Amino acid sequence: MTQAIAPPNLSNNAPEDKLLWTSADLELLPENGNRYEIINGELYVTRAPHNKHQKTCGRFFTVLDIWSVATKLGEAEIGAGVVFGDNDDVIPDVVWLSNERHAALIDDSGHFRGAPDLVIEVLSAGTENEKRDREVKLKLYSSRGILEYWIADWRNKQVQVYRRENGILKLEMTLFVSDTLTSPLLPDFSCPLVQIFE
């Protein structure tokens, strides 16, 4: 379940539509197991996800990590902070970065200050959560230069693959449990989706 929260330090003179959350505001939030993300200055709070959501994230990370170690072409990360700007601070489920991007974008706190090559979001239950991943994050990732975006649905055992075309992310294909996932970003990477969704 996602919940929106009003920004801190509200002044009576500022119109509500001008009040934006920033990365600095995240420091004020409690350490209570919730996940906090800011997109376009709006705070999204998500509770701990379903076990199968986490298992799906882990499996995507594992196959990407094994491929990355074997090829030495980049790094897979799970639950990494990605800060695009003061009003866009998110935690994708899994990301993959080429060695060049990884070295250029990682900061001293272990967050990435810019666009990974690939982002994977695993859908959580609820209309608001799905809308965030399918619409809000798709727009964010498209505008910020992500090259490929995979939206995984563990309930329906499918993956929507978005690829950058003419400067924006467009739906390239929808893959099902009997299909094999490949990517032009990842030479010779091949993952039967039954491996992810079994």
Q: What is the pLDDT of residues 117-166, one digit of tens each?
A: 999 999 987 888 899 899 999 999 999 999 999 999 999 999 999 999 99
pLDDT digits (tens, 9 = 90+) for 4-19: 454 554 444 444 556 8
Q: Grade residue 48 by pLDDT with cuts at 50, 70 and 90.
A: low
Local structure of 11: helix, strand or coil: coil
pLDDT digits (tens, 9 = 90+) for 155-182: 999 999 999 999 999 999 999 999 999 9
Q: Which residue has the higher pLDDT, 32 or 156?
A: 156
Question: Does residue 47 register a pLDDT over 90?
Answer: no
pLDDT digits (tens, 9 = 90+) for 56-68: 999 999 999 999 9
Residue type, 23: S
Please list, in sequence order, all residues whose beta carbon lies within 8 angstroms of the beta carbon of residue 1, skipping any fewer than 6 positions away.
46, 47, 126, 128, 129
